[in-house]
Each structure stands twice: as structure tokens, then as C-alpha cells.
């Protein structure tokens, strides 16, 4: 679970939250299960409780979990094919993998600033089309990084709390008696970028350019199509209500 903190924050940013990384970390750790920013975080990431619910419904003998090994890119495919009885090699990494990298600290600062300044009366459709599927996708799918950009750093206090919770998750999972493939007892948390990023007030022209390239005509066409569909629905609904005096 400690490895999920930075990536989880980035995913929530893509849905428009307006909290900094540090603010978000305090919201989930200071009052667990009571975060007003992302209430669903612990519902997803208290893995012991999540898997226990599956076990109660399907039976522990019918559940297997795979603890992924990032150092072995084929581990997940090989493990799943073995469990499912699928011939080896049927599942494999795509020949041309789609780039979906983590955002840098500067790119995250840009996205947070967009969220903080995005019009309150704007529709979610416009944010999804132009920001989430436009600017953000352009950044995360670009292999080019500004050499001066830093990775998003996680404060040590947050990593320590996550490690503690993760340890209890492992204990709870092992008690269930389900089949475990791989190693749940990870101890490589020192690989997580640890610390605090300096406040970012400027970004490079390259970063801004990559974000701007997310605006394309196909997204504009989708926006127009949705507007037409919504206007059609509004008019049909008005006719029906008038006819039946609803």
C-alpha cells in the first residue's frame, strides 16, 4: 500500500480534487475513514477487509491473490495463466505498450493549479474532455521529461503510517487462508521517493507545450455531439411532460 500513495493522489487529481499532496495525505491519515476529500480511499485500500468480504461471499478456498513483482514484468501474466489453466504465453505484454507514466512534481503542480482555477460552474463533461482526456493524457503519454523535473516526493511520516497499516493488512490477509502467489512481505519501501518537494511556482515551456498538445479536434467533436444529444433529450422530455401534464 505505501507504493500506492503517490499514484492514488495523481488519479484523484485527474478527477478534479483541489488539495495539495501534503493536504491529501493528512486528510487520509489524520482521521482514517473520515477523509472529506477522497472518502473512498480506505474502502479500496484496506486490502485485508476488502479480501475478507470476497472470502465471506465466495469462500476462502475459491480465492487466490497475486502479489505483483515489478522486477519481473511477466510475473502477473505467468501467475494468472497458471491459476486459470491457460496455456503459457497466451497472455503477455503488448508489443507496443501505451505510455502512461507517472506525472512529475512540476506537471502535478500545473494540474493542481488548473483544478484550483477551473470555473465552479463548468460542467464535468468539459473537464473530462479537455483536461482529463486532453491536457493530462498528453502529459502522461509523453515519454519526454524535463530533465530538471523531480519525482513526486512522499513525506517520511506518511510512508511510516502506510507501512504500519500495510503490515496489518498482510496479517489480516494471511488469516483468511486463501492462496497467495508471490511475496506479501515486501520490505523494499526505501525505494519510494521520500521527502518534500520544494514549492513550484514556475514550469518549463516544454511542460506547458506538452499539456497544450492535448487539445485536439476529436475532443471538440465529442463535446459537440454530447451537447446535441443533451438538447434533444431536453426537448423530448419537455414534450412528454407537456403531453401528460407531468
The answer to whether 153 and 197 are in contact (CB under 8 A) is yes
Record the pTM.
0.80
Q: What tens digit of pLDDT does each residue of 118-141 get?
A: 887 777 777 877 787 777 877 887
The answer to whether 104 and 139 are in contact (CB under 8 A) is no
Using pLDDT thresholds of 50, 70 and 90, give the confidence band for residue 55.
Answer: very high
179-181 and 64-66 beta bridge pairing: parallel
Q: Which helix (H) or strand (E) holds 66?
A: strand 64-66
Q: Which helix (H) or strand (E) holds 63?
A: none
Using pLDDT thresholds of 50, 70 and 90, give the confidence band for residue 232.
Answer: very low
Using pLDDT thresholds of 50, 70 and 90, give the confidence band for residue 245.
Answer: low
Q: What are phi and psi of 64, to 5 degrees?
A: -130, 145
| 74 pLDDT above the threshold of 80 | yes
Domain ranges for the chain: 4-215, 217-246
- What's the rounded Cα separation, in Å, for the pair 118 and 134? 15
Q: What tens digit of pLDDT does each residue of 102-120 get?
A: 888 998 998 899 889 888 7
Interval 139-149 mean pLDDT: 76
The answer to whether 63 and 55 are in contact (CB under 8 A) is yes
Residue reference for cell 499539456:
211
Query: What does the mean pLDDT of the chain come to?
Result: 83
Amino acid at each position: 500500500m505505501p507504493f500506492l500513495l503517490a499514484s492514488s493522489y495523481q488519479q484523484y487529481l485527474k478527477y478534479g480534487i483541489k488539495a495539495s499532496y501534503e493536504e491529501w495525505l493528512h486528510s487520509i491519515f489524520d482521521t482514517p475513514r473520515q477523509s472529506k476529500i477522497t472518502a473512498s480511499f480506505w474502502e479500496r485500500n484496506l486490502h485485508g477487509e476488502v479480501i475478507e468480504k470476497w472470502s465471506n461471499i465466495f469462500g476462502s478456498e475459491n480465492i487466490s491473490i497475486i502479489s505483483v513483482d515489478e522486477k519481473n514484468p511477466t510475473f502477473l501474466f505467468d501467475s494468472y495463466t497458471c491459476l486459470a489453466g491457460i496455456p503459457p504465453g497466451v497472455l503477455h505484454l503488448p508489443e507496443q505498450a501505451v505510455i502512461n507514466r507517472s506525472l512529475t512534481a512540476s506537471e502535478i503542480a500545473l494540474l493542481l493549479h488548473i483544478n484550483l482555477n477551473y470555473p465552479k460552474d463548468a460542467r464535468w463533461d468539459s473537464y473530462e474532455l479537455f483536461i482529463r482526456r486532453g491536457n493530462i493524457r498528453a502529459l502522461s503519454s509523453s515519454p519526454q521529461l524535463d530533465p530538471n523535473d523531480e519525482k513526486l516526493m512522499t513525506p517520511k511520516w506518511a510512508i511510516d503510517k502506510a507501512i504500519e497499516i500495510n503490515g496489518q493488512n498482510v496479517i489480516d490477509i494471511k488469516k483468511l487462508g486463501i492462496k497467495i502467489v508471490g511475496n506479501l512481505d515486501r520490505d523494499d519501501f526505501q525505494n519510494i521517493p521520500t521527502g518534500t518537494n520544494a514549492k513550484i511556482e514556475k514550469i518549463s515551456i516544454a511542460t506547458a507545450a506538452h499539456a497544450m498538445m492535448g487539445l485536439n479536434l476529436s475532443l471538440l467533436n465529442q463535446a459537440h455531439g454530447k451537447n446535441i444529444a443533451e438538447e434533444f433529450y431536453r426537448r423530448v422530455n419537455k414534450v412528454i411532460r407537456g403531453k401528460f401534464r407531468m
